[in-house]
Amino acid sequence: MKKILKILKFTFISLLSIILIFLIYLYISNKVFLGSTDQGNLDYLAKNNVPVTTLIDGKLFDEDFYKSKVFLLGEIHGYADNQTLDREMLFFLNKKAGIKYYIAEMDSITATKLNSFLLKKSKDEVILKDVVVSIAQRIPQQSSQQLFDKWNAIYDYNQKLADSLKITVLGIDKNFDDTSKGSRDLAMISNFKNLIKKRKIENEKFYGLFGYFHTLQSQAESGRETFAAELKKSGIKTTSIVSYTIDSEMYLPKNPQFPTPENERVDWLNADGPFMLVKGINDLKELSAPKAVTLFKLNASNSPYLKSKNLISLKSRMFGENIVPLDNLFVTDYFQYVFVLRNSEALSKLK
């Protein structure tokens, strides 16, 4: 019996030692990858950021910004503040640039239902609930009460607009019965171009919320196509704004592939780790306030980010893939603005 206890004690101490060594390695490795703050970056960012309250402040958007034909907001799915940002970006661009076409990471059938909801004289929340549930088929982390509330608010906003400015949703993702072997992003660019031609809206501008990867305007080392890169390749001027989170919770609904907490929320997939890491995020963390959203512009003429791989070098230790920019490209070749979300709540289930 003593021998068994001795073996068990040795095994326990060995396992504990392995776990401790792993945690120390993870901590040191994360610190090295993230890097420390850089004074040159801080000096630039201090002059090129604006806090976001309930409304979007457009003072960082210059004349060149409005020359874009497509505006994309890229999110890591599951954070509540991104739904608020999406709503406010749509309202801002509708008022400021007359944008009325919302391109969406959804199939055409779901988009048709959503447009039916937006066009009804009286609000039909049964249709909207059906839309939110349908979205769970492709993006379970986005199907939420906050998504429902966002489109409810867009309906109210839409009712006050002149017919010439009313918002229409263009669903450009693959339909579920599409058996073609091409990637989703190639399907998106094809569907987008076809819709423009079919509706004869070549002179319009467009805005939409997509998963982070789809909004990157250049390929990374993986070589995978992205929707935004295909837009750029087609000569369509595009502005990409990505959002990164710090000290925030993500909605992670139960699924058979990965064990999730009982409350379906996790707080370990923020930009500063421990399981997702964005190189250089500490500079933005230094200049953003807790419980707030801050917008940073990266592409001003004197920006150090014009020749930097910070903020586009991303290491994922759990979900998705690492993003390694190509040797001759820098962060502003991928996106031009960053929203930093501090202490965002997780999305919640539809009531």
Looking at the chain, list the stretches that DSSP marks H as alpha helix, in order from N- to C-terminal side. Answer: 2-34, 39-47, 63-66, 80-97, 108-119, 125-135, 145-159, 184-199, 227-233, 281-286
> Is 1 found in the same domain as 61?
no
> Is 19 found in the same domain as 117?
no
Cα dihedral 71→76→77→83 (10° resolution): -50
pLDDT given at position 200: 97
- Whether the CB-CB separation of 105 and 240 falls below 8 Å is answered with no
Joined tokens for residue 49: 């950021």
For 160-196, the pLDDT digits (tens) are 999 888 999 999 999 988 888 889 999 999 999 999 9
pLDDT given at position 42: 98
User: What is the percentage of the chain residues whose pLDDT exceeds 70?
Assistant: 92
Joined tokens for residue 307: 């020749």
> Is 87 found in the same domain as 8?
no
> Is 230 found in the same domain as 179?
yes
Q: Stretch 145-174: mean pLDDT, rounded?
A: 96
pLDDT given at position 318: 72
Tell if the pTM clears 0.85, that is, is over it: yes
> Is 331 found in the same domain as 248?
yes
User: Is 348 contained in some domain?
Assistant: no
Cis, peptide link before residue 51, omega less than 30° from 0: no
pLDDT given at position 276: 92
Q: How many domains does the chain have?
A: 2
> Is 329 found in the same domain as 300?
yes
What's the rounded Cα separation, in Å, for the pair 146 and 209? 14
> Is 295 found in the same domain as 163?
yes
Q: At residue 4, does pLDDT exceed 80?
A: no
Q: At residue 228, does pLDDT exceed 80?
A: yes
Q: At residue 14, does pLDDT exceed 90?
A: no
> Is 105 found in the same domain as 175?
yes
Could you tell me the residue range of the domain that residue 8 belongs to? 1-34
> Is 143 found in the same domain as 193?
yes
User: Is 253 contained in some domain?
Assistant: yes
Q: What is the mean pLDDT of the chain?
A: 92
Gyration radius of the chain over CA positions: 22
> Is 41 found in the same domain as 16?
no
pLDDT given at position 9: 65
- Whether the CB-CB separation of 89 and 215 falls below 8 Å is answered with no
For 288-304, the pLDDT digits (tens) are 999 999 999 999 999 99
> Is 293 found in the same domain as 240?
yes
